[in-house]
Structures are given as structure tokens and as C-alpha cells.
Amino acid sequence: MKQLALALALLLAAPAAQAHDVITSGLHFVHPYVSEPIKGAMAGAAYVVIANEGTAADTLIGVETDIAMMAMMHKTEFSANGVASMVELPPVTIAPGDVYSFEPGGAHIMLMMIDSGLKVGDMVPFTLIFQNAGRIEVEFMVDPADPNAPAAEHMH
């Protein structure tokens, strides 16, 4: 638990201008955000850090949002020569006291046919679907596009 508190303190100290967080059903959603869509891109990406502060494990099985035609959980992997590719992420089980991060270059929520009119600062509703907690509504904020995100997370 001490480690979790430390991890969260570090995350919350991250230099995100207007990061916000949501706590519900023992699940803590830290800095849920959508990368501002790149003009002309077919897809975008969303990220969030999920801390399980409850007493039982729970599993994230899906994500829904109206800002894209489809939201999918992906993971970016790098080949030996540094080429990024993406694979579908299986359901994510988070044990009590554990933290799972969707972050640029790793796991991300891929947004196919994203609404290209989104602007930095917009708040957009997402539904995160958990096996036990059920459907949880979390508002994501549109943040400036992350320079650390592999191009593939925006373009495919």
C-alpha cells in the first residue's frame, strides 16, 4: 500500500497542466486524457492510469466512447530494429494495490475514426467496462498531442 501511495504521488506530480482524477468503486483513474487528434489522422489515442484501491481484483474488459467509431485496447510493441507495431490488448486484471498504466509507447486506448473537431481542454465522456464494477463513466480531457507517442498510435 505504501508503494501504491508513492506511485500515485509521483504520477500526480507529473507536469500535466490540468490533470484531473476520478475515484469510484475502489478504482482510481489518474489523468484520463485523449491526445488532441492530428489533422487528417484516422485514429487517435487515449490514456489513463488505473489504480485498484479496493479489496478485490477487477478486470477491464472494454472501453466505449461516442467520440470515435470504435475504441479498442491496444499495446504498442517494438521490434528488434525499433519498428513500432500494435497488438490487441487482452482484458486487463488489476489486483488490489496494483496500478495499470495506459501510456504513450505502451498500452493505449485506440480511437478509430476519432472526431477530428476535438480541441485541447474539451472534456469527453468514456465508459470503462469492468467485470465486477460494471460500467464506469469517466470524463477524459483532451490534452496537447504527446510528443512521446509513437506515430503509429495516431495513424493506423
Please report, as ranges, the residues that interact with Cu ion according to CB under 5 A. Answer: 74, 86, 110
Cβ within 8 Å of residue 118, ≥6 positions away:
34, 36, 37, 67, 124, 142
Nearer to Cu ion (CB atom), residue 36 or residue 58 = 36
Alpha carbons 20 and 3: distance in angstroms, whole number: 21
CB of 55 to Cu ion, least distance (A): 32
Alpha carbons 84 and 57: distance in angstroms, whole number: 31
CB of 154 to Cu ion, least distance (A): 9
CB of 67 to Cu ion, least distance (A): 16
Nearer to Cu ion (CB atom), residue 50 or residue 110 = 110
CB of 41 to Cu ion, least distance (A): 12
Nearer to Cu ion (CB atom), residue 86 or residue 129 = 86
Alpha carbons 114 and 99: distance in angstroms, whole number: 27
Q: In residues, how long is the chain? A: 156
Nearer to Cu ion (CB atom), residue 73 or residue 124 = 73
**End-to-end CA gap in the chain:** 39
Cβ within 8 Å of residue 2, ≥6 positions away:
none
Nearer to Cu ion (CB atom), residue 31 or residue 74 = 74
CB of 104 to Cu ion, least distance (A): 11
Q: Among 120, 123, 102, which residue's Cα sits nearest to residue 48?
A: 102
